[in-house]
Amino acid sequence: MIALVVDALNYVGIVAFAVSGALKAGEKDMDLLGFMVLGFSTALAGGIIRDVLLGRTPPVNLTYLPYPLTAIAASLATFALYDKVNKYRDVVLYPDALGLGAFSAIGADVAFSRGLGPFGVAVMAAVTAAGGGVVRDVLAAEVPLILRREIYATAAAVGGFIYIALYYAFGRGVALLGTTAAVTAIRLASLRLGWELPHRGRRLGALNAGP
């Protein structure tokens, strides 16, 4: 039952992330291929990077066809309905937050099963959840969003530590669902409250501006 719930959340994340990537392609005036490449990359690149780093080859996101097919289908749907989807792009932030939580939990679970310690689990949780967004922004010729503002990869990394704590206290099922819920809550709170990590450059710019 737990596996079914987590798998369902995984699909929510794939669709939400693929739509996010496709919307970025629209911003950059890319063609149909651009929509598919950015949508696919945003949804699945994080898991691919994780698997390569952990020696799980070929990566699951390339061999289990429902995952790439879902990402491509969501990208194509966004291309076909771009004006309507773009109009309500803020709504995507909510399933995106749920996807972030699910991907963080899944990344932590995979890393923990491979024998990584707390730091490694946290890193793999962040890579799985946020790696696709980094690839998307690089392909779109932008500084990755997670390096400029918003609590995103940080929330996913925290999820890695939460997973380990919950695993030892309550077992794998609770760890997966609890991590998903916790990371989703952190992400939604950061959106609502405008949380960001400190910006040294922004502070220096304000000082240099003078009175």
| Average pLDDT, integer, range 188-211 | 67
Range list of β-strands (E), 133-197? none
Residues in the chain: 211
- How far is the first Cα of the chain from the last one, in angstroms, to the nearest whole number? 61
3-state helix, strand, coil in the chain (%, to 5): 80, 0, 20
Predicted TM-score of the model (pTM):
0.88
Q: What is the DSSP letter of 150?
A: S
| Buried-exposed string 8-29: b where 16+ CB fall within 10 A, e elsewhere | ebbbebbbbbbbbbbbbbbeee
Residues 140-176: pLDDT tens digits? 999 887 777 668 899 999 999 999 999 999 999 999 9
Residues 77-86: pLDDT tens digits? 999 999 999 9
